[in-house]
């Protein structure tokens, strides 16, 4: 007996022949009434959706987060209350700038985005592999991406465009010193670090507020490639990191990360030498030590790449009770940009896709819209109402939000020019070994080839401001007089 399922058309009718078009005679023209043919061709035409404007090239997997230390003194988030509690997660790794078909061994920031499926809703945590980002204000993100992406004229990556932008924003220097140093090309995804960069608020049952940063450190240790190693890999494949991830999962070599937080009490927010919400800076681990809170393990390859890795939609504003947004200018802008991009790519009902759906479903009176796959019933599509089986608000303390107290402040567009853009970049440079410094300089000299003289001199001046040796080494490689550059640009600041 044949137990195979019948192949059907898009309306459920079994198909007699799915390999031959309907024609007039064996060699005659094809008929437009061949709906099986037109359905197949039309679906092929519509298979691709808009790719992400950032973090387009990526791969995802399911796994579990296990809490190893109760954090109930700091947050009422349900999944962090009990030691040994386990929470299902979906993790998507990615490169930042280039498109879906690009190489996974380019010098670029990597995304490390996590969706926690908790018992009280989804919590999305957006991380990158570096502990700092290029800019501190979301207003700059569109221009940053334009400067990093290919030319609108030739569709080629032009260093002049990127470095022109960097030369006008010294706040990018810390990220540059990370990216063009030893941290620029992660060897794969399973030995890649993840850092929230943005600061979040934790809120406990008593209403106390704590500011936190997250850090995911691979148990196998972080691994990076040199430019030469990356070039060798790229000769054979552009998908080395995806292949490595899925090969390890297939062989049951499940990658693990230890999960840490740094915690800053609200009362100490003003004690920093810089604003602690600045995403171009790190928090000193000697002052705010890492505290381990859990372990992240990936253990499952999704059934379909498109349905999961492509349709997963992250929202930095998707919080659970006990976790809230800080006042970070970058975070608050991304809280609009991410879900807006999701609506553009996937449609308004993207939260109902399987990979995005909360464990307990979605219960509200929002309705209709493109691709509404819910089974909505009844007359009542508004709140409040008089129905006995109506949805209700949950007013328990568990789900209460933090309170803001704002008094006597000025609403304006503050540039935050008081932030020092050079100290941490200098500290990072001095922490590198002699060989690592040489590698950094080699990578920068290679990246700066062909840029205009004013742009080059401005960047060299920034390197000098971070550390005189940093600037001198780059200037010497271009046969430029550092003293003249310093005299010129000291006058302009």
pLDDT in tens, 19-44: 999 999 989 899 999 999 999 999 99
* CB distance 478 to 445 below 8 Å: yes
Question: Which among 96-100, 268-272, 414-418 has the top mean pLDDT?
Answer: 96-100
Virtual torsion, Cα 358, 100, 242, 297, nearest 10 deg: -20
* CB distance 277 to 305 below 8 Å: no
Q: Are residues 11 and 138 in the same domain?
A: no
Virtual torsion, Cα 436, 437, 439, 444, nearest 10 deg: 140
At residue 80 the predicted structure's pLDDT band, cuts being 50, 70 and 90, is: very high
* CB distance 317 to 335 below 8 Å: yes
Total-model pTM: 0.93
381 in any annotated domain: no
Q: Which of 152, 156, 96 is nearest to 127 (CA)?
A: 96
Q: Are residues 269 and 307 in the same domain?
A: yes
Q: Which of 134, 77, 102, 10 is nearest to 421 (CA)?
A: 134
| DSSP H or E segment with residue 111 | strand 110-118
Choosing from 356, 372, 401, the residue where a domain stops is 356
Tell me the mean pLDDT in the region 259-263. 99
Encoding tokens for residue 380?
């009542």
Residue 279 has pLDDT above 90, yes or no: yes
Tell me the mean pLDDT in the region 208-224. 98
The DSSP bridge partners found for residue 325 are 200
372 in any annotated domain: no
Tell me the mean pLDDT in the region 59-78. 98
At residue 272 the predicted structure's pLDDT band, cuts being 50, 70 and 90, is: confident
Predicted local distance difference test score (pLDDT) of residue 393: 73
* CB distance 79 to 318 below 8 Å: no
Q: Are residues 342 and 259 in the same domain?
A: yes
Residue 357 has pLDDT above 90, yes or no: yes
Encoding tokens for residue 83?
């030691």
Predicted local distance difference test score (pLDDT) of residue 336: 96
Tell me the mean pLDDT in the region 118-146. 97
Predicted local distance difference test score (pLDDT) of residue 378: 78
| DSSP H or E segment with residue 91 | strand 86-95
Predicted local distance difference test score (pLDDT) of residue 266: 93
The predicted-structure confidence for 332-351, as pLDDT tens digits, reads as follows 999 999 999 999 999 998 89
| DSSP H or E segment with residue 249 | helix 240-250
Residue 291 has pLDDT above 70, yes or no: yes
Could you give the CA distance from residue 184 to residue 479 in angstroms, rounded to a whole number? Answer: 26
375 in any annotated domain: no
Q: Are residues 90 and 33 in the same domain?
A: no
Q: Are residues 86 and 27 in the same domain?
A: no
Q: Which of 430, 425, 467 is nearest to 179 (CA)?
A: 425
Encoding tokens for residue 291?
């505290």
269 in any annotated domain: yes
Q: How many CA atoms lie within 13 A of 311 on its CB side?
A: 21
Predicted local distance difference test score (pLDDT) of residue 492: 54
Give me the domain span that covers residue 198.
58-356
418 in any annotated domain: no
Q: Are residues 65 and 200 in the same domain?
A: yes
Tell me the mean pLDDT in the region 238-245. 97
Q: Are residues 166 and 27 in the same domain?
A: no
Predicted local distance difference test score (pLDDT) of residue 2: 75
* CB distance 160 to 154 below 8 Å: no
Tally the domains of the chain: 3
Q: Is 338 annotated as a binding residue?
A: yes
Q: Three-class SS of residue 324?
A: strand
The domain spanning residue 29 has which CATH number? 4.10.91.20
Q: Which of 48, 279, 18, 33 is nearest to 172 (CA)?
A: 279
Choosing from 337, 356, 375, the residue where a domain stops is 356
Provide, rounded to the nearest whole percent, the portion of the chain with pLDDT above 70. Answer: 95
199 in any annotated domain: yes
Q: Which residue has the tokens 């000025």?
A: 410
Predicted local distance difference test score (pLDDT) of residue 381: 75
For residue 384, is the peptide bond before it cis, meaning its omega torsion is within 30 degrees of 0? yes
The predicted-structure confidence for 456-476, as pLDDT tens digits, reads as follows 999 999 999 999 999 999 999
Q: Which residue has the tokens 């681990």?
A: 285
Residue 417: how many CB atoms within 10 A of its CB?
Answer: 8
Q: Are residues 36 and 126 in the same domain?
A: no
* Mean pLDDT of all residues belonging to the chain: 93
Q: Three-class SS of residue 297?
A: strand
Q: Which residue has the tokens 């260093």?
A: 159
Q: Which residue has the tokens 């704590």?
A: 210
Contacts of 488 (CB under 8 A, 6+ apart): 457, 461
Predicted local distance difference test score (pLDDT) of residue 409: 66
Q: Which residue has the tokens 């099986």?
A: 36
Q: Which of 189, 184, 186, 183 is nearest to 255 (CA)?
A: 189
Contacts of 102 (CB under 8 A, 6+ apart): 57, 95, 238
363 in any annotated domain: no
Q: Are residues 26 and 124 in the same domain?
A: no
Give phi and psi for 41, each to the nearest 5.
-70, -40
Give phi and psi for 217, each to the nearest 5.
-115, 120
Q: Are residues 38 and 96 in the same domain?
A: no
Predicted local distance difference test score (pLDDT) of residue 188: 98
Predicted local distance difference test score (pLDDT) of residue 405: 64
Q: Are residues 315 and 458 in the same domain?
A: no
53 in any annotated domain: no
Tell me the mean pLDDT in the region 259-284. 94
Predicted local distance difference test score (pLDDT) of residue 387: 78
Q: Which of 222, 297, 293 is nearest to 259 (CA)?
A: 293
Residue 170 has pLDDT above 70, yes or no: yes
* CB distance 224 to 186 below 8 Å: yes
Q: Are residues 31 and 111 in the same domain?
A: no
Residue 410 has pLDDT above 70, yes or no: no
């Amino acid at each position: 007996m044949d137990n195979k399922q019948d192949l059907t058309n898009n309306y459920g009718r079994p198909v007699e022949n799915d390999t031959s078009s309907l024609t007039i005679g064996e060699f005659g023209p094809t008929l437009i009434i061949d709906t099986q043919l037109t359905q197949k061709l039309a679906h092929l035409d519509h298979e691709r959706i808009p790719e992400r404007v950032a973090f387009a090239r990526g791969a995802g997997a399911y796994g579990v987060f296990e809490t190893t230390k109760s954090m109930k003194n700091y947050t009422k988030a349900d999944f962090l209350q009990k030691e040994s509690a386990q929470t299902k997660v979906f993790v998507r790794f990615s490169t930042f700038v280039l498109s879906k078909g690009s190489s996974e061994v380019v010098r670029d920031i990597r995304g490390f985005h996590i969706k926690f499926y908790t018992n009280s809703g989804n919590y999305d945590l957006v991380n990158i592999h570096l502990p700092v980002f290029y800019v501190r204000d979301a207003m700059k993100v569109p221009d940053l991406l334009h400067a990093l992406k290919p030319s609108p004229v030739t569709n080629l990556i032009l260093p002049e465009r990127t470095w022109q932008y960097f030369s006008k924003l010294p706040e990018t220097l810390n990220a540059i010193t990370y990216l063009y140093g030893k941290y620029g090309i992660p060897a794969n995804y399973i030995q890649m670090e993840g850092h929230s960069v943005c600061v979040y608020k934790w809120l406990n049952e008593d209403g106390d507020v704590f500011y936190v940063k997250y850090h995911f450190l691979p148990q196998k240790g972080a691994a990076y490639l040199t430019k030469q190693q990356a070039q060798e890999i790229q000769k054979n494949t552009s998908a080395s990191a995806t292949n490595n991830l899925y090969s390890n999962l297939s062989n049951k070599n499940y990658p693990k990360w230890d999960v840490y937080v740094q915690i800053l009490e609200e009362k100490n927010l003003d004690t920093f030498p810089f604003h602690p919400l600045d995403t171009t800076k790190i928090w000193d681990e000697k002052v705010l030590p890492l505290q381990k809170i859990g372990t992240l393990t990936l253990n499952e390859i999704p059934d379909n790449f498109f349905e999961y890795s492509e349709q997963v939609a992250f929202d930095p504003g998707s919080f659970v009770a006990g976790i809230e947004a800080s006042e970070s200018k970058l975070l608050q802008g991304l809280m609009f940009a991410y879900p807006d991009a999701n609506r553009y790519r996937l449609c308004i009902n993207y939260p109902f896709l399987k990979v995005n759906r909360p464990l307990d479903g979605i219960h509200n009176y929002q309705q209709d819209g493109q691709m509404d796959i819910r089974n909505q019933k009844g007359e009542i599509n508004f709140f409040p109402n008089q129905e006995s089986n109506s949805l209700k608000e949950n007013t328990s303390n568990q789900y209460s939000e933090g309170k803001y107290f704002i008094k006597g402040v000025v609403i304006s567009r503050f540039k935050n020019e008081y932030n020092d853009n050079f100290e941490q970049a200098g500290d990072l440079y001095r922490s590198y070994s002699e060989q690592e410094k040489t590698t950094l300089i080699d990578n920068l000299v290679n990246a700066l080839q062909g840029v205009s003289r004013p742009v080059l001199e401005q960047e060299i001046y920034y390197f000098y401001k971070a550390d005189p040796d940093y600037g001198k080494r780059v200037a010497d490689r271009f046969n430029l007089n550092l003293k003249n550059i310093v005299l010129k640009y000291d006058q302009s600041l």
